[in-house]
Amino acid sequence: MLGSRRGWCALGLSLGLVVSGCRVAERPLEPEANLETTQQLTFQSLNLQQVDKNGQVLWKLQVQQAVADPRTRRVQVQKLVGDIYDQGKPRYRVETAQATVLEQGETLDIQGTIIANDLQDKTRITTQSLLWRPQQQELILKGNLEFQHPKIQGKAQEATIRLRDNHLALRKKVQVTHQKPALNITGEALDWEWQKGQIQALQPVQIIHPPQQLVVKAGRGQMDLQNQVLRLTQGVDAVNQRGQLRAQEVEWRIPAQEVTAVGNVFYRQNDPPLTVTGSRADGNLATRQIRVQRASTQFVP
């Protein structure tokens, strides 16, 4: 993106720059040999865009003011507004009051307090770092990430959006809130496929279901949000005020509050006091009617 002084003011090199109000920052006179490597360039009302080898637009940016450093290929910008294109159509609208922009080939890197709006599914994202890789159709976000979608909201430290298969990978200190069913999900690695309505937990996860005051922990899990079914594995522990259910695997059908638990099943209820262990359990958490196979039952006086 950044070439020589002549390249910037003569509409650029690889970017196809459109520049208006071009002004070179005033500096003390220096030896001619150092001009190309030391002098910063200042622009007013700068337009940037990148196209691929077929002439298809990959991204466009408009900035009110820019200071470019030819040595580092970085541009310090004020009041940036732009579009990220996916397969020739605008997909994300990007805005920031102040940022650093770096272009390497077709890749776009923006560092700053950034707002990105998905123009298709109305998701709004705020983050500190945005990297657009058009060949991979990937948007990589880092730093104090927050997103808002009509059905789901969340926070994380890192995220990768794969546009080719509508996949959002959230990483590090992930917190997700889903409206229907009402679920608060926390973990270190959650993957959301928004077209399929599925969330997958690749690492230990905690799920809170506020209507039942139920807290569930598991090693891994898959949540079918459209059908409101959770499938949890690798050690499941579900606790609320009424009791506790532990097993190796649990399928939880939320609307009916029905559960199927398999493997080292432990069920405890508080009123009346009762503890049951077995190999498999089927039942209803709301009514506390649980059937346990190969059961061993203990009544607590």
pLDDT digits 0-9 by tens, 41-67: 888 888 888 998 888 999 999 999 999
pLDDT tens-digit series, residues 96-107:
999 999 877 789
Whether residues 89 and 221 share a domain: the answer is: no
In order, the DSSP letters of the chain are ----HHHHHTT-SSS--EEEEEEEPP-----GGGHHHH--EEEEEEEEEEE-TTS-EEEEEEEEEEEEETTTTEEEEEEEEEEEEETTEEEEEEEEEEEEEEEETTEEEEEEEEEEEETTT--EEEEEEEEEETTTTEEEEEEEEEEE-SSEEEEEEEEEEETTTTEEEEEEEEEEEETTTTEEEEEEEEEEETTTTEEEESS-EEEEEGGGTEEEEESEEEEETTTTEEEEESSEEEEETTEEEEESEEEEETTTTEEEEEEEEEEEEETTEEEEEEEEEEEETTTTEEEEET-EEEE--
How much is the pLDDT for 161? Answer: 95
Whether residues 112 and 231 share a domain: the answer is: no
pLDDT tens-digit series, residues 272-288:
788 888 999 998 877 87
Whether residues 144 and 3 share a domain: the answer is: yes
Whether residues 128 and 232 share a domain: the answer is: no
Whether residues 16 and 132 share a domain: the answer is: yes
pLDDT tens-digit series, residues 124-152:
999 999 999 999 999 999 999 999 998 89
Confidence of residue 31 (pLDDT cuts 50, 70, 90): very low
Question: Which residues sit opposite 145 in a β-bridge?
Answer: 156
- Say yes or no to pLDDT of 24 above 80: no
CA distance 17 to 264: 65
Question: Which of these three, 148, 169, 195, is where a domain ends?
Answer: 148
Whether residues 206 and 133 share a domain: the answer is: no
Q: How many domains does the chain have?
A: 2
- Say yes or no to pLDDT of 111 above 80: yes
Whether residues 222 and 280 share a domain: the answer is: yes
Specify the pTM: 0.82
Q: Give the residue with greater pLDDT, 119 vs 269.
A: 119
Whether residue 40 is contained in a domain is answered as yes
Q: Minimal CA–CA distance to 179: which of 254, 118, 242? A: 254
Question: Which of these three, 132, 148, 164, is where a domain ends?
Answer: 148
Whether residues 141 and 251 share a domain: the answer is: no
pLDDT tens-digit series, residues 63-109:
999 998 888 888 899 999 999 999 889 999 999 999 999 877 789 99
Whether residue 165 is contained in a domain is answered as no
CA distance 277 to 270: 15
